[in-house]
Amino acid sequence: MSAIDILLVDAFTDTPLAGNAATVVLEAGGLSDDQCRRISAEIGTSEAAFLFPPESEGADHRLRFFTPTQEIDLCGHATVAAFWALAETGVVELSGEPRRLVQQTNVGDLPVWIEGSAGGPERVWMGQKLPRFETPEVSVDKLAALFGIGRKQVREDLPVEIVSTGLRSLHVPVAGLASFPEMRLLRRGLVELSNSLDVQTIQVFALEGSTPDVQVHCRVFAPAVGIDEDPVTGTAAGALGAYVVRHGLLPQGKDGITRFAIEQGAEIGRPGRIEVEVTRDEEEFVRVRVGGRAVVTLTGSLRIDT
């Protein structure tokens, strides 16, 4: 038997027991794939981040992400959680200027920025891949039935679209906040839809928030990878940012950056907030990144077989 150090970190919030919880293992060298999956299942968070020594030149850390059932290529909230933990534990030192690091992932090397000072981290930004878009063949009637809402609650003036900034996400626009608490999901149908379209997440969103400083409200479902509903989802937020910019739904700043905030998780008691920045030069996307705060809620050690 041996023991490994683990942390629980709530990402996209500064309130314990809110946002999206992630398991973080800062020293995962030597762990097998099966051990990573079993550790994720034992702790029971939707995703766990395992930090390994980097294998690619220029990367600072190699991150692998596991749900309780399988490995996934990328996870936004677990990235924020992992780099927040690195800064809070002093593995990464901060001096007041944003610290840029590179994480090696299964979808490539991606930049991460940690804002903060010697007093601790203040925000973590996760860079994502430049977006790819696809228009699927799926009817409004079918979507409304899967979410248990009226057909007229699915907007037809905006496209249902698959966007990937690292993971493929299906985006479904709905009309207003009232649609969200009414949703009654058909899980089996959502799994079948996810598999047929080869998407990892399905994001339902409205272009309004519960407070004036929030522009988008959403819910995200990922039953095909073992997560019925994800509280606050960084990868889907980046993809939604690209969708919003592509269709001109929010104003772009003079610097070419569209900035907005997403709220998610209130319907399942885990409210969180994601900051989104999408940079576009005329018609070319230049950068997509999402950011937020986090809080370490538990530190400890886990005994495992070796």
> Which residues are known to be catalytic?
47
Collapsed DSSP state (helix, strand, coil) of residue 252: coil
User: Nearest 5°: phi and psi at 240?
Assistant: -65, -35
Q: Which two tokens stand for residue 113?
A: 């920025």
Q: Is 226 exposed, middle or buried (0-12, 13-18, 19+ CB in 10 A)?
A: middle
Residues 275/216, Cβ–Cβ less than 8 Å: no
DSSP state, residue 211: S
* Distance (Å) of CA 35 to CA 29, 46, 52, 82, 106: 11, 16, 14, 18, 18
Angle at the Cα of 75 from the Cα atoms of 72 and 80, rounded to 5 degrees: 150
CB contact set of 128 (below 8 Å; sequence gap of 6+): 76, 110, 165, 166, 235, 238, 239, 288, 289, 290
Q: Is 52 exposed, middle or buried (0-12, 13-18, 19+ CB in 10 A)?
A: middle
Collapsed DSSP state (helix, strand, coil) of residue 9: strand
Block residue for tokens 């762990």: 31
Beta bridge partners of 101: 112
Collapsed DSSP state (helix, strand, coil) of residue 169: strand
